[in-house]
């Protein structure tokens, strides 16, 4: 296997006396979907916010393409090709798809927005992802379904030339058909060489699209295993702490969740 694009080594994060991340390791590879799973309070959101530069880690190493980076701001993370699609999607209902995809980084021509160029680039990005559920890139986001909104948010990350796309519960509020559309898009994204980190509570989704599964339990990475080499029962055991992989020792299991799903 090629060298991982992202390597976290012994990263930690505390909020006051509460230790949320306790020396976590993680590897993320280009062209693969890495599922990040764990119960509420396991540390998933804190781990991702550190990788996105939103809440920098207290200690540990972050390697991107083998080089160490501090990732103190979201801008620095974005400059390295790391983009996060949060659960709320951060879309503006009153704007159309093109305007949302270019919000804050509009293309300019002679001192005004180059609407033609932005429309072509938005259309090309959606087409590259084989998105066929959107009738027009000039549709207002308020008229889109949940699955279509998720698609726009993912396409916006791709438009930014992201090399690592982190998806926070992308199917949480979707129906069966829309979930399948989004999971297909996730798989296509990885097949195009992007590294995808999928945060999900839905193990059916995880086993459908993930190449490997990383399991957090109370701030510890208890396992990162190939999907084809594990079972749903094993993963549930890792998540609940009833099953511990060989060589892993659980320590300090009195972590208190911070802000809901830490």
Claim to verify: residue 104 and residue 226 sit in the same structural domain: no
Claim to verify: residue 202 and residue 131 sit in the same structural domain: no
Which H/E stretch holds residue 228? none
Mean pLDDT score, 216-230: 95
pLDDT above 50 (res 240): yes
Average pLDDT, the chain: 89
Claim to verify: residue 76 and residue 186 sit in the same structural domain: yes
Claim to verify: residue 203 and residue 180 sit in the same structural domain: yes
Flag the least confident range among 72-76, 112-116, 171-175: 171-175
Q: In sequence order, which residues have a C-beta less than 8 Å from that of residue 144 and are 6 or more positions away?
A: 97, 134, 152
Mean pLDDT score, 143-172: 88
Mean pLDDT score, 241-245: 85
User: CATH no. for residue 73?
Assistant: 3.40.50.300
pLDDT above 70 (res 256): no
Claim to verify: residue 74 and residue 114 sit in the same structural domain: no
In a domain, 233, yes or no: yes
Claim to verify: residue 60 and residue 183 sit in the same structural domain: yes
pLDDT in tens, 96-117: 999 999 988 888 887 888 889 9
In a domain, 120, yes or no: yes
Mean pLDDT score, 131-144: 89
Map residue 38 onto helix, strand or coil: coil
The whole domain housing 106 covers: 96-162
Claim to verify: residue 107 and residue 50 sit in the same structural domain: no
Please give the tally of structural domains in the chain.
2
What confidence score (pLDDT) does residue 259 get?
43
pLDDT band at 254 (very low <50, low <70, confident <90, very high): very low
Considering 119, 141, 162, which residue would you say is the last residue of a domain? 162
Claim to verify: residue 49 and residue 113 sit in the same structural domain: no
Claim to verify: residue 176 and residue 247 sit in the same structural domain: yes
Considering 162, 180, 195, which residue would you say is the last residue of a domain? 162
In a domain, 87, yes or no: no
* Residue 49 near residue 24 (C-beta atoms within 8 A): no
Give the percent of the chain with pLDDT over 70: 95
Given the structure tokens 């919000």, which residue do they identify? 103
Q: What are phi and psi of 95, to 5 degrees?
A: -105, 160
pLDDT in tens, 11-68: 999 999 999 999 999 999 999 999 999 999 899 999 999 999 999 999 999 999 999 9
> How far are the Cα atoms of 24, 48, 69, 169 from residue 64, in angstroms, in the given order?
16, 15, 7, 24
pLDDT band at 1 (very low <50, low <70, confident <90, very high): low
Task: State the Cα–Cα distance between residues 234 and 240, nearest whole angstrom.
Answer: 10
In a domain, 91, yes or no: no
Task: Give helix 115-128 / helix 146-159 axis angle, nearest 10°.
Answer: 110
Considering 131, 162, 193, which residue would you say is the last residue of a domain? 162
In a domain, 88, yes or no: no
Claim to verify: residue 146 and residue 261 sit in the same structural domain: no
Mean pLDDT score, 179-203: 92
Q: What is the pTM (predicted TM-score) of this model?
A: 0.86
pLDDT above 70 (res 186): yes
In a domain, 89, yes or no: no
Task: State the Cα–Cα distance between residues 36 and 39, nearest whole angstrom.
Answer: 10
Claim to verify: residue 2 and residue 106 sit in the same structural domain: no
In a domain, 22, yes or no: yes
């Amino acid at each position: 296997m090629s060298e991982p694009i992202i390597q976290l080594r012994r990263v930690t994060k505390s909020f006051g006396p509460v230790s949320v991340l306790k020396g976590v390791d993680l590897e993320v590879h280009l062209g693969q979907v890495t599922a990040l799973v764990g119960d509420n309070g396991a540390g998933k959101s804190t781990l991702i916010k550190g990788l996105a530069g939103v809440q920098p880690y207290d200690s540990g190493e972050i390697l991107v393409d083998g080089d160490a980076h501090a990732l103190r701001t979201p801008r620095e993370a974005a400059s390295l090709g790391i983009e996060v699609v949060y659960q709320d999607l951060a879309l503006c209902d009153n704007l159309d798809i093109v305007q949302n995809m270019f919000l804050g980084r509009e293309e300019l021509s002679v001192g005004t927005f180059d609407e033609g160029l932005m429309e072509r680039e938005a259309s090309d990005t959606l087409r590259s992802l084989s998105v066929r559920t959107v009738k027009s890139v000039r549709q207002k986001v308020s008229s889109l379904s949940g699955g279509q909104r998720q698609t726009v948010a993912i396409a916006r990350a791709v438009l930014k030339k992201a090399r690592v796309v982190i998806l926070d519960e992308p199917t949480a509020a979707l129906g069966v058909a829309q979930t399948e559309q989004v999971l297909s898009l996730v798989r296509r994204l990885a097949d195009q060489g992007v590294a995808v980190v999928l945060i999900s509570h839905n193990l059916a989704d995880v086993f459908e699209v993930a190449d490997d599964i990383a399991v957090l339990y109370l701030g510890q990475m208890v396992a990162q295993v190939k999907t084809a080499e594990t079972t749903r029962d094993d993963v549930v055991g890792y998540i609940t702490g009833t099953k511990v992989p060989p060589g892993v020792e659980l320590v300090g299991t009195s972590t208190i969740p911070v802000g809901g799903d830490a």
